[in-house]
Amino acid sequence: MKTTRRGFFRVLAGTTVLLTGAGCFGRDADPALHIHRATGNRTFGPVGDHARRPFGEPFKDYPDAESVKLDPVTELADIGVASASIAYRLPPGFSQASLGFADLGALLFYANGVTERRDDVSPPKLLRAAPSAGALYASELYVIARNVAELDRGVYYYDVRSHTLARVADAPSDGALADIFDLASPELHAPAYVAVSSVFDRYQWKYANRGYRYALVDTGHIGENLRLASTVLQVRERPLRAFADDSLNRALGLDGAREAVCAVHALGHSAEDSPEFAQRESLHEKGEARGLLGGLKGRATRRFQESTKLHRDGVAPPRPPQSIAVAPPALEEHKLPRAAQALHASLGVAIKQRRSPLEFQPTVISYAQLATLFISMRDRIGHDVTPYIIVHEVEGLARGLYRYEALRHRLSLLDGRDLRDAFALTCIGQEKARTAAVAVVMVGAVGAAMARDGRRAYRDVLVRAGELGQRVYLAAESMGLGARNLAAFRDDPLNELLGLDGEQLAVVHLTMFGQRA
C-alpha cells in the first residue's frame, strides 16, 4: 500500500464543478437546495428558531386505545452484520402468507426498542437500539397490520416503554393503501407496513433547523436495524419511498406538521420473482417525486417536511437546474481484502449491545477491520450517498482523505495530509473527531438527486446516509470496536476540507469509528 503525500491544493485544483443549463449555481439561486443550506451549522451553531424549553418525554400516550402485549423478544440467529447485509434482497412482491406476531414484535424491538435503562438520571433514560441526536428520540414507529397472525387488522403505535402495541385506528382499505403507497399490483401489498415518523419539535427546541436533518438521519438508522433484523428473521423488507404524505399521516392520526412519517417499510414473505416484477421494481425505486413550492408557514422543520411531500395530484416537482458535480480525482488507489474478518458479535447482539462511546482511544485499527467495515456497508452504497473516510490511525494506511469505491472495493486517496486538527476544528473541536481511528463521512449528491427527483430526494439522501451510519455502528460493535455519530459538524469548512462544493456534493452525515476508550 504505497502512499504519496501531495498538497491539498492539488486536490482543490482538480475539483471542478461543471455547470450546464441556466448557470444558476448561486448561493441563493436555487430554492430546492434551500433546505440543505437552511439546515447547515454555521460558526455559532445551527440556524433557525430554538424553543425555550425541552419538548418533553419522547413517548406518546393513547390511554383509550386497546393495548396488545408483544411477545418477549428472543435472540436472533447467530448471523453477523456482514452476512446479513450480503443476504438482503429486495423482494419483488409479497405472498399471501401472514407475518408472524413474534416476528413483528422482534422487528420493532430490534429497530428501535429499549435496549438499556439508565436509572441514574431523573426521569430514567430509556436508551434505544438506534442512536438518536442528543438521545432525544424524535422517531416513533407505527404498524399498519393487514395480515399479521394473532393481530386484528388496524393501525398500531409501538410503545417502547412496555413493548406493546396500542391500536390507534382502523387500517385503510387495500384500495386506499394502494393509493397511499403507489402499489402498482396486488403482489406489492404487504401483510404489514412499519412507518417511521418524526416528532420534529423534540429536536427543533435544541437543534433549530438542523433538527430536520437529524430527524431524517435517525430515520435511516432505525430503518437499517429493521432491514437487517428482518433479513436474519427471514422476513422480507421493502422500503416504500414514494408514499403520499397527507393520506398516510391522516391514516395514522398524525397532523403531518408536528409529527409526520419520514419512511415506510413493507414487511412480509416473498412472492415468486418474475421479470415483470423486476421491471416494475426499477421504476418504483426511481420514485415519483412531486413536491410543493413556497407559501408555507410554521416552524422551519415542519416547512421542510411539507416542501418535500409527495402528492398524487400531478403537481410538477420543483427541481434545481441540471448540473454535474465532478468529485475530487484520486491520487492513488488501495485494494481492500474481500473477505470479512471473523466477528465477535452477531447482528442481534450488536444491536442490543450498541452504545455510542463517549471517548475513543487514539489507537490503530487494522487494515482488515477497515475492509470489514466496508464489506458491511457495501450493498447500501450507491444511492446518491458515497462514504469518504478520513484516516487517523489505520495500520498500513497513511493518514489522509480517501473515497471508498464500492464497485471495485477500493480506497482512492484524495489528500495525503494528516487532517486530524483541521477535521476536529470542523467538528466544533469535539475530541472524538481527533481520537477515533477513522471518520466515515457520508457525502450526498444532494444537487443531482434533487435535479433528478425533485425536493423529495432530499429526504431520501439523508435517510440513506443514516442507513449507512447504522451499518458503521453495527460493523464496529461486531468487531469489538465503537462508533459514534458526530453530526454536529460545521458544513462549510468540512465541505471545503473534503474538496466538495457543499451543494451538488455535500457532507450529509458523519460517524466516527475506532477503539472505545
Ligand X SMILES: Cc1cc2nc3c(=O)[nH]c(=O)nc-3n(C[C@H](O)[C@H](O)[C@H](O)COP(=O)(O)O)c2cc1C
Cα gap 41→510, rounded to integer Å: 13
List Cα–Cα distances, 497 to 56, 66, 155, in angstroms. 37, 54, 47
Q: Of the two residues 179 and 359, which places its CB atom closer to ligand X in the complex?
A: 359
Cα gap 323→6, rounded to integer Å: 29
At closest approach, how far in Å is the CB of 326 from ligand X? 29
At closest approach, how far in Å is the CB of 203 from ligand X? 9
User: Residue 393: what residue type?
Assistant: E
- The residue among 320, 288, 331 whose CA lies nearest residue 179 is 288
Q: Of the two residues 312 and 355, which places its CB atom closer to ligand X in the complex?
A: 355
At closest approach, how far in Å is the CB of 132 from ligand X? 5
Q: Of the two residues 249 and 470, which places its CB atom closer to ligand X in the complex?
A: 470
At closest approach, how far in Å is the CB of 229 from ligand X? 16
Instruction: Quote the cell numbers at residue 253.
Output: 392520526
The residues that touch ligand X, with contacts defined as CB under 6 A, are: 127, 131-135, 214, 217-218, 221, 355-356, 430, 484-488
Q: Of the two residues 131 and 256, which places its CB atom closer to ligand X in the complex?
A: 131
Q: Of the two residues 115 and 323, which places its CB atom closer to ligand X in the complex?
A: 115
3-class secondary structure per residue, 469-498: HHHHHHHHHHCCCEEEECCCCCHHHHHHHH
At closest approach, how far in Å is the CB of 122 from ligand X? 17
List Cα–Cα distances, 453 to 19, 102, 218, 310, 381, in angstroms. 18, 37, 22, 11, 18
At closest approach, how far in Å is the CB of 115 from ligand X? 8
Q: Of the two residues 8 and 214, which places its CB atom closer to ligand X in the complex?
A: 214
Q: Of the two residues 218 and 259, which places its CB atom closer to ligand X in the complex?
A: 218
Task: Return the SS3 of 517.
Answer: coil
At closest approach, how far in Å is the CB of 452 from ligand X? 25
Cα gap 284→17, rounded to integer Å: 30
Cα gap 274→256, rounded to integer Å: 37
At closest approach, how far in Å is the CB of 236 from ligand X? 26
At closest approach, how far in Å is the CB of 128 from ligand X? 6
Q: Are the C-beta atoms of residues 289 and 453 closer than 8 Å to each other?
A: yes
Angle subtended by helix axes 174-181 and 245-252, to nearest 10: 140
Cα gap 263→459, rounded to integer Å: 9
Q: Are the C-beta atoms of residues 288 and 190 closer than 8 Å to each other?
A: no
What is the DSSP-derived secondary structure letter of residue 468?
A: H
**DSSP letters along 178-228, please?**
HHHHT--SGGG--SEEEEEEEETHHHHHHHTTHHHHHHHHHHHHHHHHHHH
At closest approach, how far in Å is the CB of 206 from ligand X? 11
What is the DSSP-derived secondary structure letter of residue 414?
A: E
Q: Of the two residues 129 and 365, which places its CB atom closer to ligand X in the complex?
A: 129
Q: Of the two residues 270 and 356, which places its CB atom closer to ligand X in the complex?
A: 356
Q: Of the two residues 38 and 488, which places its CB atom closer to ligand X in the complex?
A: 488
**Looking at beta carbons, which residue is closest to ligand X?**
131
Q: Are the C-beta atoms of residues 177 and 243 closer than 8 Å to each other?
A: no
Q: What's the CA angle centered on 307, arms 44 and 183, to 5 degrees?
A: 130
At closest approach, how far in Å is the CB of 215 from ligand X? 8
Cα gap 384→214, rounded to integer Å: 18
Q: How many CA atoms lie within 13 A of 2 on its CB side?
A: 3
Q: Of the two residues 389 and 433, which places its CB atom closer to ligand X in the complex?
A: 433
